Amino acid sequence: MLLEGKHLTFSYRDDCVVSDFSLALHEGDFTILLGPNGSGKSTILRLLAGYLPLQRGEITLAGRPLAAISHRERARHIAVMPQGNTPALDFTVQDMVMLGRNARLPRLSPPTTQDWSVVRTALDSLALSHLAERHCNRLSGGERQRVALAAVLAQEAKILLLDEPCAALDPANSLSVMQLLRTLPDRPAILLISHNLTTAARYAKEIILLKQGRTVAIGSPEATLTPENILSTYNCSSELLRDSCGNLCLSLQSAP
């Protein structure tokens, strides 16, 4: 087991946003967190990344308490893509992606040939090589989103925590990114937040459905995305279907 959270509970002042949440991530897992706005998804990701202090429960990384592990060591195991676009810093795209190598570089040492090779591979995988020398403040929001993901991949961590990585992407790039993540050759454990139920149905190995900080259902797309669960979570009527290629998709409409 790579990363485990047990009975996590977290409140902002008197507002409890996560309640008794548990999760275990193993190598090769592709888990998608779904839930309405304000259901605690991003807070769960921040807790698992060590960005928020534990109030109740425990988190372990490879069996060790997460809080006892230095930030630099955590970054060698856990790569995090926060919600929203990265700032339009005046770095080139390739230099921004190289930031993902920081935890693996000896302090004050320049990148090695191997580091640059990893960066080039990350750029290639997200179709960004032609933008390598462009400054990030001259990119579109969707391009910056892909640069941020390339930096995550360059980190070569065994655990990826991704908060809406496709939020600013057009449909073609969204499909490309999800397919890339689903088939990464080194089989990292991935926890991904999404609001796209059809994307989750198509790509997730496991879905965790949340409402008001509590787990409504956990399991395969077929087991979790039932009409009953979707109605109680989103107040929408739904039908889980398969398209002409056999991929799962979800039909939604407002509840009567």
Both tokens of 101, joined, read 């190598």
Amino acid at 133: E
Q: Does 17 reside within a domain?
A: yes
Q: Does 47 reside within a domain?
A: yes
Q: Residue 184 is part of a domain; what is its CATH number?
A: 3.40.50.300
Q: Does 243 reside within a domain?
A: no
pLDDT tens column, 158-206: 999 999 999 889 999 999 999 999 999 889 999 999 999 999 999 999 9
Q: Does 248 reside within a domain?
A: no
- Range(s) of the domain holding residue 139: 3-220
The neighbour count for residue 64, using CB atoms within 10 Å, is: 12
| Lowest mean pLDDT segment, chosen from 53-62, 88-97, 209-218 | 88-97
pLDDT tens column, 100-151: 999 898 887 899 999 999 999 999 999 999 999 999 989 998 999 999 999 9
Q: Got the DSSP string for 130-191?
A: GGTTSBGGGS-HHHHHHHHHHHHHHTT-SEEEEESTTTT--HHHHHHHHHHHHT-TT--EEE
Q: Does 52 reside within a domain?
A: yes
pLDDT tens column, 7-36: 999 999 889 999 999 999 999 999 999 999
Residue 208 pLDDT: 98
Residue 85 pLDDT: 57
Q: Does 162 reside within a domain?
A: yes
Q: Does 192 reside within a domain?
A: yes
Structural domain total, the chain = 1
The C-alpha atoms of residue 71 and residue 169 are separated, in whole angstroms, by 30
Long-range contacts of 229-234 (CB under 8 A, 24+ apart): 230/197, 231/255, 233/34, 233/35, 233/36, 233/209, 234/36
The C-alpha atoms of residue 234 and residue 212 are separated, in whole angstroms, by 11
Strands 64-65 and 214-219: unpaired
Q: Does 229 reside within a domain?
A: no
